[in-house]
Chains A and B, each alone.
Chain A
Amino acid sequence: MNEWLVVAGIILAALSGVPGLVLSRRGTAGERLATGLLGLGAALASTGAIRTFGGVPGPGLSAPWPVPGALFAVRLDPIAAIFVLQVFVGSFLASLYGLAYWPQAEHPFNGRKLRLFFGLLAAGMGTVTIAANAMFFLLGWEVMAIAAFLSLTTVDERREVREVGYVYLVATHVGTLSLFAMFTLIESITGSFAFGGVDTVAHPVLASAVFALAVLGFGLKAGIMPLHVWLPGAHARAPTHVSAVMSGVLLKMGVYGLVRVGAMLVEPPVWQGAVVLGLGAVSAVLGVAFAIGQHDLKRLLAYHSVENVGIIFMGLGVALIGKSVGRPELVGLGLAGALLHTWNHGIFKALLFFGAGSVIHATGTQEIDHLGGLGRRMPLTSVLFLVGATAICGLPPLNGFVSELFVYLGLGRSLAGVNGTWWVLTAFAIPTLALVGALASACFAKAFGAVFLGTGRSEHAAHAHEARWPMIVPMVVLAALCVVIGVAPALFAPALDGAVVAWSGRAAHVSLAELAPLSLVSVGAALLLGVIGLGALGLRRRLRRVATTGTWDCGYAAPTARMQYTSSSFAQNLTRLFSFVLWPRTHAPTVRGSFPASTSFASEVPDAVLDRLMVPALRTVERMMVWLRWIQAGNVHLYLTYIVAAIVLLLLWRP
């Protein structure tokens, strides 16, 4: 029953963009119908998913698929349900947002196309989450990947969009091919394409290869450092509601895959968990470090996805370590942290992208240093963005704090009562996570401050307007979710508990309520809100009469908006500190003479892996390939010589 609901949701999502194709190019019926269908699908699928948390997981569905090795097998366990919920809620809210952000009336040529692919994207992701057969999984995976590519390149007349589209496409294909290899290896161990247990003891080398391929394939999708190369560009260039889904949901399919493979590995060696933890830590720190250097609002948010996926991986690493050493509390806390952070990141990142989209829609630029002072012109957006910003920094009393707390607890629990020295890794992971949190705060202080606070730095900012309701409503919903999860995490414990049980298999289960101070977190959050409320009330009474004046200018007579601290200057200290990984580029003039002419200074932080490493490396490979063109130089004598050579070689092969 639950499975059928989800399947129905997937089908509705897949078809949501189809009616629009035959309806008028100018009318609004198509787009409303698309959102409506997606909403209906989301309602059905979410119902199915939520019902799963309570009850016993069903036996699943299956239908024959007359292709070798393939089966339309569907299974809805709590792990899948967690992701189903995220896929559908995220996609629906983004679709709603799109009604105002990308209305058909303003985009007559690509609006219908975009909605078609958007629906397919949601359907593909839904399929990935519930597939219980490798071929079916890959089907959903690729539909998702291609639909995402086509949505991302909606505005393909722009060169930079095409470029990031290509990078994304290549990256996702490399991921898909690693999954080909992974599933075929799994088949060579288990003998089937079903998601059965992989015996790591009997097949240590093969199982390690499976693990490595899973990290590669799913890590590419999840955007873990250094496999994140496609991510910043793609998120920055896609239409914003697509960026929101890509960042909020699509990346999580990589997480889902790794979680699923983690569940399949029977008795994994400790190093695997350590690798995931280490990758997560590197990703988290470098992700946020790169984010600080950005001055494109969406690119900045994109790097924060790298960071947050890193945090998720850290949780997953803890869970894997717990599985290896037989510590159910590590499994419970690590996995609950990872999964809850998956939700949370989906929520606040979508919220932030929506906020960024409102800004872009209102001002026409995503360059942070051209903005400023939008808090006055867009009060709702600014409050909602601030909620998202606070949440993503992991600050209480919002949701980001809760999931990070779980990860902290998981890491902390591993400090005590263990043998061996691997706890040093978890020990250093804790301050790493703290560093990430602090850097994230710095980064969002910069972003929020430069965009919404102070005064406008350009004409773009001067004519901003508040977003329309289809854009505001999804943000309100997401902000509310941030608060609810942050204040009352206990509400979500059953879902997480169910997933932990489904994941750990034979490890004895300890419920999350016993492992983490859920109710006391609520108390702390309530206390904080109460004290803030009291303080605000008190201050409000004292501030009935205030005098206003200009900002203190240290006696300088004519301050201008351009003298404000820009986001780049704000970040400069930190980018300099991290310059050993960021390699920032600066274009600084040399000033000569007593009265130098007007000049300019610019700095940017390109992606170290993509722009500094991969592109040059691939260029070199490409040059070598181009050099090999002499093979086909048009000379028929040469061609005939190849044939002779082939014969001689083969005759010598085995005389």
Chain B
Amino acid sequence: MNEFVDPLLVAVLLTNFFVLGTSRLRAAITGTALQGSILGVLALFVHHEIDFRILLVAGGAILLKALVIPGMLLRAMRDAAIRREIDPVIGFIPSLMLGALGTGLAVVFANTLPLASSHVGSLLVPAALATVITGFILLTTRRKAIMQVGGYLVLENGIFIMGLTLLKAVPFLVELGVLLDLFVGVFVMGIIIEHISRNFSSLDTSRLSSLKE
């Protein structure tokens, strides 16, 4: 734990709000990419000593979360020729307010959980939860498939922050899990997005509602 952690977490929270508040897809994807790179840096500072494992995690996170996946999303965006999230389920201002509310609730909820001595007073757990909540808000309110993937990325980022608390205590499976999840989940989603845009000539998921009762 050191003095850089909390400012970085605040930056994460700010990117959350940025992604929530922007209507341009490119900006939102860039925001998630930025968030991913912050998390990579964060991984380096969470623990005092930096070993090979932590470098691997940080490098992997930056590579995947900040470069590869946003890159794929941007490409899909270009292919489908869409730029903006128009007409989300709820507007941008309400999204932001929901995000603020969620962040507040995350802090409250985190306070009810007993923390390890090293994490007491740190923003780690609240920020993790707030980011997860932000991810959910994006997932449930954005109509474009690309933005939903983006929301999923944010959700995963939150979980990643939570995982950082365990980085030291738990063997490597956890981080591998995070990476695997991100990598494969988005990879497959990317493929599917391509098929969707080919078949429906749109990435608007509200059109994906022919299967219903």
Which A residues are within 8 Å of any B CB, using their own CB?
629, 631-637, 640-641, 644, 651, 655
Query: Chain B contacts of A633 at CB under 8 A?
Result: 209, 212-213
Query: Chain A contacts of B140 at CB under 8 A?
Result: 637, 640-641, 644
Query: Chain B contacts of A655 at CB under 8 A?
Result: 112
Q: B208 an interface residue at 8 Å Cβ cutoff?
A: yes
Considering only CB atoms, which chain B residue lies closest to A638 in the complex? B140
Contacts known (A641-B140, A644-B136, A655-B112); A636 close to B213, Cβ less than 8 A: no
In Å, the complex CA distance between A651 and B132 comes to 15
In Å, the complex CA distance between A637 and B109 comes to 25
Contact present for A635 and B213 (CB under 8 Å): no
Query: Chain B contacts of A629 at CB under 8 A?
Result: 212-213
Query: What 10 A-B pairs come out closest when comparing CB atoms?
Result: A634-B212, A634-B209, A629-B213, A632-B213, A640-B140, A637-B140, A641-B140, A640-B139, A633-B212, A635-B209
A-B residue pairs in contact (CB < 8 Å), sample of 10: A633-B212, A635-B212, A637-B89, A637-B139, A637-B140, A637-B143, A640-B136, A640-B140, A641-B140, A655-B112
Considering only CB atoms, which chain B residue lies closest to A647 in the complex? B136
Considering only CB atoms, which chain B residue lies closest to A655 in the complex? B112
Considering only CB atoms, which chain A residue lies closest to B90 in the complex? A637
In Å, the complex CA distance between A631 and B213 comes to 9
Interface membership of chain B positions 107-149, coded 1 if the CB is closer than 8 angstroms to chain A and 0 otherwise? 0010010000000000000000000000010011101000010
Query: Chain B contacts of A640 at CB under 8 A?
Result: 136, 139-140
For chain B residues 81-113, which have a beta carbon within 8 Å of chain A?
Answer: 89, 109, 112
Q: B211 an interface residue at 8 Å Cβ cutoff?
A: yes
What's the least CB distance linking B152 to chain A, in Å? 10
Considering only CB atoms, which chain A residue lies closest to B208 in the complex? A636
In Å, the complex CA distance between A635 and B148 comes to 13
Contact present for B211 and A636 (CB under 8 Å): no
Contact present for B212 and A632 (CB under 8 Å): yes
Given contacts A635-B206, A635-B209, 5 further A-B contacts (CB under 8 A): A634-B209, A634-B212, A636-B148, A640-B136, A655-B112
Contact present for B141 and A637 (CB under 8 Å): yes
In Å, the complex CA distance between A641 and B90 comes to 13
Considering only CB atoms, which chain B residue lies closest to A632 in the complex? B213
Contacts known (A641-B140, A644-B136, A655-B112); A636 close to B205, Cβ less than 8 A: yes
Interface membership of chain B positions 174-213, coded 1 if the CB is closer than 8 angstroms to chain A and 0 otherwise? 0000000000000000000000000000000110111111
Query: Chain B contacts of A637 at CB under 8 A?
Result: 89, 139-141, 143, 205
Query: Chain B contacts of A631 at CB under 8 A?
Result: 213
In Å, the complex CA distance between A629 and B211 comes to 12
Interface centre among B112, B143, B212 (most CB of A within 10 A): B212
In Å, the complex CA distance between A528 and B212 comes to 73
Interface centre among B112, B143, B213 (most CB of A within 10 A): B213
